[in-house]
A and B are shown apart, each in its own frame.
Chain A
């Protein structure tokens, strides 16, 4: 555990705020890349996801996108895009890669959120005379919000993780401490950087978790819970099941 003490000492060293590689700058860079890429991804993915969810057309696209985002190695995309646009424009390359990896999760969240809305609710809205646009924005979008937030959450984590690799194409961010630490064999720096990255990811994750919870509460039980089928009895609760098992 001595290594971790060294890492903590490294993190709290006054040099971290004054030296050539101040922590605040690197954290700021990391968050800035993440936010920028997340916003661009959302602008592309949410309208597309709503379109797919509302019309029910193009589902294959959503599934294909998710598969591709998982299969494509982020380090490979980052290096090849950097070479293609030139090392001087590595920032553009990196943001493009973050967006490519961020879009599918958000698209899936937007689409799944709309699709999970009870069809009888949508029919009721239609019967009340709502236009299709009204149905989308006043019924489907609010009810699908928790799942959309879930998609944004996965995308944000994916982007944060990929932004760690951005140091290898010369872009800074928190990955720079790991990159330097590995090449210079400065383990305190390497571990300190890794700890910061984990904390950042956990913090962003927690933020989205709270958002999801608030959204779920705001819309009541939420669209993800399947409605009880009127023609069949409710499934047994765990208590009832164990009682049943005791009787037998």
Chain B
């Protein structure tokens, strides 16, 4: 505990940087993956290819991606962009699959009813499909958020400054409290992000508060249980 008291400034600084580093990949992942997932869901021919590619992408272990990415896209190995882009790739990979599943979880009867009421393809997507897929999209986004916050720590091995610094420094100096602080603060960021996302979900989708459709709830739980990059 002495270590914590003596290093409060460092802890606060690293926590804030860590949160900032995590934010961008989560946002980029969501913005790119939803249209990509919708595309894979709408066009059967694109589905297999898209889902296979994103599946292979998150098979790649994070440290290997941090090392391979800079020469491929031509940035400096120690650039902060490296970690941001690599984690955005994971976020897109994870979220695209969730987005496809989210849209699939919409009850076909409801879609049929919307078509019968005169919704066109595009109008139905915005007014019916997307809102009803919302809860499953949110479940996917929460998985992306938690994994990103945790994966940022690996970035310390390629020169990114974040809470992972406490792991390496703590190991070298043999200070358990330092590593423990790093783990605790990483989890704290993940939990805060998760609560914010849950709150945002309630504000944007007030109808999900009470009874939930069985289909969407099952899909959301499946994603919360099984998805995740390494």
Contacts and interface: CB of A to CB of B under 8 A. Distances in A.
Interface of A: 1, 3-4, 62-63, 66-67, 69-77, 79-80, 82-84, 105, 108-109, 111-112, 150-151, 154, 157-158, 160-162, 164-165, 168-169, 175, 178-179, 181-182, 187, 190-191, 193-195, 197-198, 201-202, 205, 232, 235-236, 238, 244-245, 248
Interface string B149-165: 11101101110000110
A63 B158 contact: no
Given A63-B225, A70-B146, A198-B68, A76 B164 contact: yes
Contacts of A198: 60-61, 64, 68
B228 A191 contact: no
Contacts of A191: 67-68, 71
Given A63-B224, A194-B64, A4 B59 contact: no
B48 interface: no
Interface string B198-230: 000000000000000000000001101110101
A162 B68 CA distance: 17
Contacts of A161: 61-63, 230
Contacts of A79: 167-168, 170-171, 179
A83 B179 contact: yes
Nearest to B63: A164
A76 B63 contact: no
5 contacts: A67-B224, A75-B153, A80-B179, A161-B62, A187-B71
B9 interface: no
B67 A154 contact: no
Contacts of B61: 157, 160-161, 164, 197-198, 201
Contact of A82 (B65, B146, B154, B171): B171
B186 A76 contact: yes
Given A83-B171, A160-B61, A232-B109, A72 B183 contact: yes
A84 B153 contact: no
Contacts, number: 161
Contacts of B224: 63, 66-67
B35 interface: no
What 5 A-B pairs come out closest when comparing CB atoms?
A: A161-B230, A161-B61, A235-B108, A73-B153, A194-B67
Contact of B59 (A67, A70, A157): A157
Interface in B115-159: 115, 121, 143, 146-147, 149-151, 153-154, 156-158
A111 B158 CA distance: 37
Given A3-B71, A75-B153, A112-B225, A236 B174 contact: no
Given A187-B71, A235-B109, 19 more contacts: A63-B224, A66-B228, A69-B228, A73-B151, A75-B154, A76-B164, A76-B182, A79-B170, A80-B179, A112-B222, A150-B226, A157-B59, A158-B228, A161-B61, A161-B63, A165-B154, A181-B67, A191-B68, A238-B44
Given A62-B225, A76-B153, A202-B56, A178 B67 contact: yes
Contact of B228 (A63, A70, A236, A245): A70
Contact of A4 (B71, B150, B226, B228): B71
B125 to A, nearest CB: 13
B16 interface: no
Contacts of B154: 73-75, 165
A178 B64 contact: yes
B55 to A, nearest CB: 8
Nearest to B222: A112
A129 to B, nearest CB: 31
A76 B179 CA distance: 6
A72 B228 contact: no
Contacts of B186: 71-73, 76
Nearest to B121: A245
B180 interface: yes
A168 B168 contact: yes
A157 B230 CA distance: 6
Nearest to A190: B67
Contact of B170 (A73, A83, A197): A83
B67 A109 contact: no
A109 to B, nearest CB: 7
B190 interface: yes
A216 to B, nearest CB: 16
